[in-house]
Amino acid sequence: MVIKHILLVFLFLAFRLSSSAKVTYNVVTFGAKPDGRSDTKNAFLKAWNLSCASTSPAIIYVPTGRYLIAPALTFSGIECKSRGITFNIGGTLVAPSSYNAIGNAQVWIKFYKVNHVTISGGTLDAQGSSLWACKASGKACPKGSTTLGIYHSQNIVISKLRSQRATTASRSGNSNIWIEKVVCGPGHGISIGSLGWELEEPGVQNVTVKTTTFIGTQNGLRIKTWARNSNGFVKDVVFKDATMMKVKYPIIIDGNYCPDNENCPSQVSGVKINNVVYEDVHGTSAKHAWQSTCGFILLLCCRHCFGITSTYKLSVTSRRVRKMMRWRA
C-alpha cells in the first residue's frame, strides 16, 4: 500500500513538471537570418510546427533583427496539440518591399484556427509606403493586404506590438481576443471585419482592444460588415483608452462595406452588432482631400446595431469636429 501511494505522488509530480515547463524555440536556431533580406518563413514554420506538436506550453523566440517573411505566412492550428504558444518577439518582421510580392495573398501574416496564442512585443513592418504612394497618386494599384489577420481563433492575446504601414484584423469566428498596447500607423488601423460575406458565418465575440495608439492611420477602431445577408454577429467588444493622432476615421462602424459596389445584392449588412463600448477614445482626426468636414465618429448604415455606447469620456480635440452619423434604416 505504502509503495503504491508514493508511486502515485511521484507520477503526479512528474506530470506537473512536464506540463508546466515551457519549451523555447528560437527561430534563429532554425536558420532564420535576421538580415531583412533572406526569407525566414521556413524557420518560423519549423518553430511553429514543433510548438504546435508540443504538449507543454511553447515559446517561439524571435531575437532582435529584421526577418523577411515572403510573400506571406499562415500559422494553422488545425493539428495543434499545444496548450499555449507565445511569440516573444524582440525583432521586426518585414514584408517584401515590392507590394506586388504580397500581391494576391490577402493577408501577410495569418493565424487560422489557433487557440491560446499570445503575440508579445515586436514590430510588423508591412513595407506599405510604396503602395500608399501609388494609391495617393491615383494610379491603379493593388488593394493591399491585411498585415496581421486572425481567423476562427480563440483566446488570443496581442500585446506591445508595433504595426507599421499595416492593418490588424480580426475576422469571423473569433472569440476571446485581447489586444493591448499596440501602436499602429500609418495604415488601416485595427479592424473587426470584414464580416458577413457568408450567409451562415460564426460570429465574433468578447474582444478587448486596450491602450492603443494610432498615428496617421486611415481608420482607428473599425467594425466592418459586408452589405450582404448574413446571420453573423459581433458582440461584447470593448475599445478602451485609445489615442488617435490625425486619424481619418478614429471610430467607424461600416455596415455597408461594398468596394466597387460589387456582390452586395442586399445593400445592407445582416450582421448584428451588439454591445460595443468605447471608453476614453481621445485625440485628433484628419480630413480627406474630398471631405468638406472631418469627423471623429462615423456610423454607416448600421441597421442591426444595438447597444453601441461610450462610457467615461470620449474626448475630441480636433478643431472642426462633427459627429457624422448617417443612418439608413
Ligand X SMILES: *[C@@H]1O[C@H](CO)[C@@H](O)[C@H](O)[C@H]1NC(C)=O
Contacts with ligand X by CB under 6 A: the residue count is 9
- 275 exposure class (CB count in 10 Å sphere: 0-12, 13-18, 19+): middle
Could you say which of 18, 29, 42, 263 contacts ligand X (CB under 6 A)?
42
What is the phi/psi pair of residue 318, to 5°?
-65, 145
Comparing CB distances to ligand X, the nearer of 44 and 249 is 44
What is the phi/psi pair of residue 6, to 5°?
-65, -40
Does 238 contact ligand X by CB under 6 A?
A: no
DSSP code of residue 29: G
Instruction: Specify the residue for cell string 517584401.
Output: 96
Does 115 contact ligand X by CB under 6 A?
A: no
Does 49 contact ligand X by CB under 6 A?
A: yes
Question: What does R_g of the chain's alpha carbons equal in angstroms?
Answer: 21
CB of 103 to ligand X, least distance (A): 22
Does 211 contact ligand X by CB under 6 A?
A: no
Residues in the chain: 329
Does 178 contact ligand X by CB under 6 A?
A: yes
How far apart CA 244 and CA 217 sit, in angstroms, is 9
Does 45 contact ligand X by CB under 6 A?
A: yes
Q: Are 202 and 233 in contact (CB under 8 A)?
A: no
Which residue stretch of 44-52, 83-91, 189-197, 281-289 sits at the interface with ligand X (rule: CB under 6 A)? 44-52
Does 46 contact ligand X by CB under 6 A?
A: yes
CB of 206 to ligand X, least distance (A): 4
Comparing CB distances to ligand X, the nearer of 159 and 206 is 206
Comparing CB distances to ligand X, the nearer of 45 and 314 is 45
Give residue 78's region: left, alpha or beta (phi > 0; psi -120 to 50): alpha
Does 206 contact ligand X by CB under 6 A?
A: yes
**Nearest residue to 93 via CA among 26, 157, 161:** 161
Does 229 contact ligand X by CB under 6 A?
A: no
Residues 75-104 touching ligand X, rule: CB under 6 A, are: 79
Q: Which three cell numbers stand for residue 292?
A: 468638406
Does 56 contact ligand X by CB under 6 A?
A: no
Site residues (vs ligand X, CB under 6 A): 42, 45-46, 49, 79, 176, 178, 206, 208
